[in-house]
Chain A
Amino acid sequence: MPTDRPNIAELVEAVREFLTDHVGPNVEGQLAFHTRVAVNALAIVERTLDQGGAMDDAELIRLKALLKQDGDLQEMNAALARAIRGGELDDQRGAVLEHLRLTAADKIALANPRYLTPRG
C-alpha cells in the first residue's frame, strides 16, 4: 500500500496520545469513561499491528497440524469450531485444549495484557 510517514501505527499512536493528553483531562463523567475505553481500543490496534502477524502465523501452523487440512485462518477456525461441536476431535482433547489456550492467551495479550497480572 502506498504510504508516507506517519505510517498507520504512528497515526493510531497520534490519535491515542491526543485522546490521553488533551481530551481525557478536559472531560468528566461518561465522556471521560468513554475516552478511556477509546484509548484502550486504540492500544489494542497498536498491539495488533505490532504482534498480530506473528500470532496469526503460529495459529495457522497449529490449526493445520490439528485439523490436517489447509485453508486461511478464518476457514480453519470455522472448521475447528464445527469439528469441536461435532465431536470429531474428542480423541484429541488435550491437543485441542492446548491450542485453544495458546490462542486465548494471544487474544488477551492483544486485548488486555494486564489481565494476566493479578493485583490486589
Chain B
Amino acid sequence: MEAVQDPNLSAAEQLALVLRDRMAEEFSAGTKIEGLVRLSAGASRETWSFDAVKPDGTRQLLILKRDPMARQADKKFEGVPEGRLAVGRLVEGRLLQLAREAGAPAPIIPFMLNKDERTTEGFFSHRLEGETLGRRILREEAYAAARPKLAYAVGHAAARFHGIALDKLPAMRGLPAGEELLHYRTIMDSFHQPHAGFEYGFRWLAERLELAGERYALCHGDYRNGNIIVDEDGLAGVLDWESAHLGNPSSDLGWMCVRAWRYGYHDKVVGGFGSVSDLLDGYEAGGAGRISEDEIHFWQVFGTLRWGILCMILGFTHIDGEQRTVEYAGIGRRAAETEYDLLQLLD
C-alpha cells in the first residue's frame, strides 16, 4: 500500500488527521493535536513535533519520525548487491525501546505508526529537552557542565546497548568487519575515480583485520556527536538508529572518534568533548569489558575511511545528477579532509 498525499491538503493538514485518529486509539476520542511542526528539512526522513492534548487537558509532548511521503529510491552502486541497508522505522523504534530497557539513555517510544493510504510508517517518541546539534553541544555555555561527562557517558551507553542479547533483536543485516570493508571499497570502485590515499587505507585495514576484534553485537551504526541529545546534566538520549546492524561493536566507538564531528575541537578526540580513556572507562563500567587501544585505533581508521567514502557518495550523488545541489558538490571535496586525517592516523 502506497501512502498518497491529498492534493487538497497540505502535508501538515493530512498528517494532523492521521495523528488525530491515531491518538484517539491510544488515548481517547477527542484528543487534540496542537503545535504540529516539521523539525527536519531532510529529504530522507520526516521528523515532526506536536502535543497530544487529551480531553482532561493533560498534554503528552511527542515526536513522530516517519519515512518521507515522497520516497526516493535508495542509491545503487555498481557491484554492490541490492537490498535494504538501513533499518525501517518500526525496527528503529523497537531498537530505541530495547536500548532503553538495557539501560542506555533513550527516549520512551510509546507506540508506532503503521503505514496506510494516508501515511508512511514511523514511530512516536516522548519529546526530550536538550540539544542535538553537535556544534552547539560543544560551544554553548548551557552544556559546559555536561561536556566533561559525555565521553564516559557515550561509552557507558554503548556498553549497555552492545550487551543486548542477539536473540532479543529484530532481524537486521549482519556486517562483519571484512565484509563492511569490501562493501565500502566496492562503492569507491563504482565511481571509477582511482584514489591512492583511500587505497592505502583499505590495504592497511585489510592487513590488520584481526585487530577488529571477535565480538558480534547490535551496532548503532552512526554513533557520533550529532546523533545524541544532550541536556545540562549530560547525555539524555541516543538517537537515529537507522544505520543499525549486527557487527563488531567497537565500530561504534571508533566512529565516535572520527574528526569530522569534533567541530574544530581536535584535542578532544571523542566527539569534540572528551578523551578515549574516558570513553573506554565508561564502556568498561557499562559492563562490556575493556577494549584495547589498538582495537579502537583500528576502528577510528575504519570510521575515518568510511566517512571519506560517504563524502564521495554525496559528491557523486550530485555529479551523477541524482540530486543536483551545491551542498553535495561541496561535501564531495570534504573527502580531502578525511584523506588527510586518515593518512595522519596510519603508519
User: Is B194 on the interface with A (CB-CB < 8 A)?
Assistant: yes
Q: Which of A34-74 contact B (CB under 8 A)?
A: 34, 37-38, 40-41, 44
User: Is A97 on the interface with B (CB-CB < 8 A)?
Assistant: yes
User: Is A1 on the interface with B (CB-CB < 8 A)?
Assistant: no
Give the chain B neighbours of A104 by CB distance below 8 A: 197, 336, 339-340, 343
Task: Assess whether B196 is in contact with A40, with CB atoms less than 8 Å apart.
Answer: no
Query: Would you list the 10 A-B pairs with minimal beta carbon distance, nearest first?
Result: A81-B194, A107-B336, A78-B194, A84-B199, A104-B340, A37-B330, A80-B196, A119-B264, A111-B336, A81-B196
Q: Which of B313-347 contact A (CB under 8 A)?
A: 325-327, 329-330, 333-334, 336-337, 339-340, 343-344, 346-347
If A40-B330, A118-B267 are given as contacts, then 13 extra A-B residue pairs at C-beta distance below 8 Å, sorted by A number, are A77-B196, A81-B194, A81-B196, A81-B199, A82-B194, A85-B199, A85-B203, A101-B344, A104-B339, A107-B340, A108-B336, A111-B336, A112-B337
Count residues of B near A (Cβ-Cβ below 8 Å).
29
Please tell me which one of the listed residues B196, B265, B326, B340 contacts residue A34 in the complex, with CB atoms under 8 A apart: B326
User: Which residues of A approach B to under 8 Å, CB–CB?
Assistant: 30, 33-34, 37-38, 40-41, 44, 77-78, 80-82, 84-85, 87, 96-97, 100-101, 103-105, 107-108, 110-112, 115, 118-120
Please tell me which one of the listed residues A33, A77, A84 contacts residue B200 in the complex, with CB atoms under 8 A apart: A84
Task: Assess whether B264 is in contact with A120, with CB atoms less than 8 Å apart.
Answer: yes
List the A residue with the shortest CB-CB distance to B198: A81
| Min CB–CB distance B39 → chain A (angstroms) | 14
Please tell me which one of the listed residues B196, B334, B343 contacts residue A111 in the complex, with CB atoms under 8 A apart: B334
Give the chain B neighbours of A30 by CB distance below 8 A: 41
A-B contact pairs, 28 of them (CB 8 A): A30-B41, A33-B327, A34-B325, A37-B327, A40-B330, A41-B329, A77-B194, A81-B199, A85-B199, A96-B200, A101-B343, A103-B196, A104-B197, A104-B336, A104-B340, A105-B340, A107-B340, A108-B337, A111-B336, A111-B337, A112-B334, A118-B264, A118-B266, A118-B267, A120-B264, A120-B265, A120-B266, A120-B268
How far, in angstroms, from A37 to B329 measured CA to CA in the complex? 9
| Min CB–CB distance B331 → chain A (angstroms) | 9
Q: Which of B192-232 contact A (CB under 8 A)?
A: 194-197, 199-200, 202-203
Give the chain A neighbours of B340 by CB distance below 8 A: 101, 104-105, 107-108, 115
| Min CB–CB distance A20 → chain B (angstroms) | 15
How far, in angstroms, from A100 to B344 measured CA to CA in the complex? 10
How far, in angstroms, from A110 to B264 measured CA to CA in the complex? 18
| Min CB–CB distance B2 → chain A (angstroms) | 28
List the A residue with the shortest CB-CB distance to B194: A81
